[in-house]
Amino acid sequence: MRRLSSLDAQFLAAEHDNFAAHYSGLALFETVDDTTITAATMKSRVAACIDRLPPLHWKVVTVPLGLDHPVFVETDVDLDDHIFESSLPARATDEMLGDAVARILSTRLDRDKPLWRLDVIHGLPGRTAVVITLHHAAADGIAASEVLAAIMDCDDEPTLETRGREAEPNPLELATRGLAALPVRGVRALLSTPQTMAHLDQVPAIRALPGIQTLAQLIRRDSDAKPLHSPRTRFNVKLSGERTVAFGTVPFGEIKSLKAHFGITVNDVVIALCAGALRRRLTETGEVPAQPLVAYIPVSKRSPDAQDRFGNAISSIIAPVPVHLSQLGERLSYAHETMTQAKHRTSEAPDTLLSDVNDPIPVPLFGFAARALMDLISSRFSRPPINLVISNVPGSPTRMTCSGAPLLAAYPGSVVFDGFALNITVVSYQDGLDIGIVGDAKALPDAWELMADFRRELDDLSALVNAERIPQ
């Protein structure tokens, strides 16, 4: 049995009919026909490695009277309930595949079963798609990518039938444990409060509440810091029930060339690339703000040698995205300077900040508080805390395969929230940078145009480097 942290529990508590808090990673494989990768072959692979992937066995059990956060208990898994197969129309396009992934992202997982699913999708000429979906309460982005990699890498004999089921805990036992732990958790929350208060402006959902940034800066005695406010954009809305998904690959070598030429980091280049692509899109629609957008950038805080590889071990960088600057070089310089400052601020915050800020909330009120906060930050009457989520996940530099089929690309499909309905996540794989764009369908009807803007922006950035190399 595994008790959810307050951060894990937040992703369950905030869900509603229009908000599903799960990841869907899209893996595209090169296949000759529809027989190389099927639901049957994927069931065999999952059965072979499921003992090494605890989240695939975890089912949510709530604690009576809300005396504690939910727990995960290990349960038997019927793979027929989790692994599915479908076909797109003949000679399907990437846009059709994106629509299929968007439907998966829009559909909440069944809490009566472990919170994951795997879809095999045929119909793409020369390719087969595998979409692995895992709930954010069970794994953060790094852990979710490790699950997909483990399934691809597993060729052992199935071990599913040897897995013993954990007895579901007695409700009275859960309630008693929760009640007994309340004083201890209360003291722990109280002790962490001073350090938490000093960094409240690093917490995405609450940083725009009146006085939060000023209070945090006063506690830190950071009189030189300027409040970072988000402009209102079309992404700062309450979610509808539909998602939009676009994806594509740009050359990672060009990203690394920009990094080396300007003496900056890959993350700096990614932020500048996002800024340029978004500026192109917002220029097209006459929506360019006079100030930078503000992004929440999740940062993994899990040690490489940590025994516990699942759940959420993340903190946050809050950084400006310079869509307001018209010059390519200015956006790169601005991204480098502000990301350096933002990373310094994050390094001073406790690794457990995102959990610590939730811990003082009484558990019986936790669900209400999570939903009320989402309603508040998505209201047009409140200042947006951020505009979007940007994430950079390191991937494999070497080729991966599944059932002998080479992996062509691994596109991340991440979570969007009430109040910030755009997520851009990138994953490096071999010589490419795979970009996954997820948005609310009403807030981002032009997702594929945005993907094209990424390619145009990188072309212009690379041309800038080449021009500076030409002798004058």
The residues assigned a catalytic role are: 136
Asked if residues 427 and 48 have their Cβ atoms less than 8 Å apart, the reply is no
Edge-first strand order for the sheet with 71-74 is 2-3, 71-74, 58-61
List, as one string, the DSSP characters of 355-418: HHTTTTS-GGGHHHHHHHHHHHHTSTTS--S-SEEEEEE---SS--EETTEEEEEEE-----BT
Q: Specify whether the CB–CB gap between 451 and 416 falls below 8 A.
A: no
Q: Give me the residues paired with residue 257 across strands.
A: none
In 3-state terms, what secondary structure has residue 286?
Answer: coil
Cβ atoms of 407 and 239 within 8 Å: the answer is no
CA distance 392 to 158: 33
Taken in order 56, 146, 318, 274, the sign of the CA dihedral is negative
Q: How many other CB atoms are found less than 10 A from the CB of residue 382?
A: 16
Count each helix (H run) and each strand (E run) in the chain, helices first: 12, 15
Cα separation, 294 vs 340, whole angstroms? 15
